[in-house]
Amino acid sequence: MRKVIPALKQFLEEIVQKHPPDASAGDASILLQSINFEFLVCLEIATPVFQETAYASNALQQEYFDLAASYKIVDGVLQSLRELRNDEKFQEIFTNVKGRAESMAIDLPSGIPGQGRRRKMPERYKYSATSATEDQQYQSLEEYYRVRVFYVFLDTISQKLQRRFKGGDNTTWGILNAFHCMTVQDNWKEPVNEEAFKSLQNLCQFYELEEVDKLRLELKIFYSSFPCLPQNTAATMLNLMKGNNVQEILPLMLELLTIYAPLPVTTATVERTFSKLKLVKTKDTQPVQ
């Protein structure tokens, strides 16, 4: 995309400058005005983030991809976003943008956007979180884009991923997270992770299983017996148990993993099926007599 922008800009300029004027010159002029310094900043920030999320999105849409594996993918994306969120990384991005803008003959903004046309904040909004952000004075153009664009964008993406995959007050996500805790080997080493054990208690309560201590013991035995799993997914754990004939020794684990393993990550497969069906049978198709 970064390599396409200079060619696109040149193409639009040729349309605008064409004589006699082309019918699309007006639209080209509007698009050309949109390719400014702020556009380049947003593009440079969004590109590495969307590369990460696109990889995760493609992985999560795979058929037979279980929820335990999806948590690992999302945790990896969140970790990448945390590593990206620092001043040094933004300074590198901003330097690259300035160089790219200079090569494309795009001028830097003459002032900090929005700082010259301030208006008085209504009294009822004076102490809100939004007004605090709006009221902030920026000392440089770099600081403005770092705080108002870079950090806000990364934080928004992270919060959305956290909410969708880690859940909040929603009971369903709490149960799914409890299932996921079973597949994390480090949770069941001594000392046992208290938060994971609490999730396990909620899971047993939800499925009306009274032997939570026995389940914890089963998990400790399982991970002691198989310390080097290639992938800690529900399906892998089930296959390992059945392949080594230990499922009768670990009945509670077997019961819960059997529930967990077939839960779909997304409805992508179903949605694709309906999309293909529309190509074969439209709403106007008459039923066969």
The more confidently predicted of residues 204 and 235 is 204
Res. 70: pLDDT tops 80: no
How many CB atoms sit inside 10 A of residue 93's CB?
20
In angstroms, the CA 230 to CA 103 distance is 48
- DSSP code at position 183: T
- Give me the residue spans of the domains in the chain: 36-166, 171-260
Q: Which of 29, 32, 43, 62 is nearest to 1 (CA)?
A: 43
From residue 241, give the alpha-carbon distance in Å to each of 21, 72, 176, 251.
73, 21, 21, 10
| Cβ–Cβ under 8 Å, residues 96 and 32 | no
User: Hey, which of 89-103, 104-118, 133-147 has the most confident mean pLDDT?
Assistant: 89-103
221-258: string of b/e by CB count within 10 Å (b at 16+)?
A: ebbeebeeeeebbbbbbbebbeeeebbeebebbbebbe
In angstroms, the CA 95 to CA 89 distance is 10
Would you state the pLDDT for residue 4? 82
**What global pTM score does this model have?**
0.64
Rg (CA), the chain: 27
Alpha helices in 21-120 (DSSP H): 25-34, 37-60, 67-84, 87-103
Would you state the pLDDT for residue 126? 45
Per-residue pLDDT tens over the stretch 7-50? 888 888 888 888 888 788 888 899 888 899 999 999 999 998 99
Would you state the pLDDT for residue 23? 84
Res. 94: pLDDT tops 90: yes
Per-residue pLDDT tens over the stretch 205-245? 888 888 899 999 999 989 888 887 766 678 888 888 888 88
| Cβ–Cβ under 8 Å, residues 77 and 52 | yes
Res. 280: pLDDT tops 80: no
Q: How far is CA 188 from the centre of its chain?
A: 28
| Cβ–Cβ under 8 Å, residues 78 and 56 | no
Q: Name the pLDDT band for 129 (thresholds 50, 70, 90).
A: very low
